[in-house]
Amino acid sequence: QVQLVESGGGVVQPGRSLRLSCATSGFTFSSYPMHWVRQAPGKGLEWLASISNGGSDKFYADSVKGRFTISGDVSKSTLLLQMNSVRAEDTALYYCAKESDAFDVWGQGTMVTVSS
């Protein structure tokens, strides 16, 4: 069945970098747009970035534009999020999601805590 498994979260100091991964299985990775969405503790969902099927188009929320980069490794069916210059407000549970008309499949999330 379709599965998304995030990893790479942890505690990171402000200003440093972190790379999140989302390992996918059960579908053809390159055939679907993919997304990163986060949820700060006790807060709502915030869309961060998406990559089109095939990887040619990428879109970002203003809050992360210029700091975060979404990419896909088709050979490993893995979605990536490179997070640079992280801030305290980036502390959240980060989800990857597959798009088939909407966000139809979600991973369990990986927690990122930005703290000195």
Partner 1 sequence: QAGLTQPPSVSKDLRQTATLTCTGNSNNVGDQGAAWLQQHQGHPPKLLSYRSNNRPSGISERLSASRSGNTASLTITGLQPEDEGDYYCSAWDSSLSVWVFGGGTKLTVL
Residues that bind partner 1 (CB under 8 A): 35, 37, 44-47, 50, 59-62, 95, 101-109
Nearer Cβ to partner 1 (44/66): 44
Shortest distance (Å) from residue 73 CB to partner 1:
22
Are 20 and 49 spatial neighbours (Cβ–Cβ below 8 Å)? Answer: no
Shortest distance (Å) from residue 116 CB to partner 1:
28
Q: State residue 41 phi and psi, 5-degree precision.
A: -50, 125
Nearer Cβ to partner 1 (13/108): 108
Are 59 and 5 spatial neighbours (Cβ–Cβ below 8 Å)? Answer: no
Q: How far is CA 80 from CA 42, 51, 87, 116, in A?
A: 25, 10, 19, 24
Shortest distance (Å) from residue 85 CB to partner 1:
20
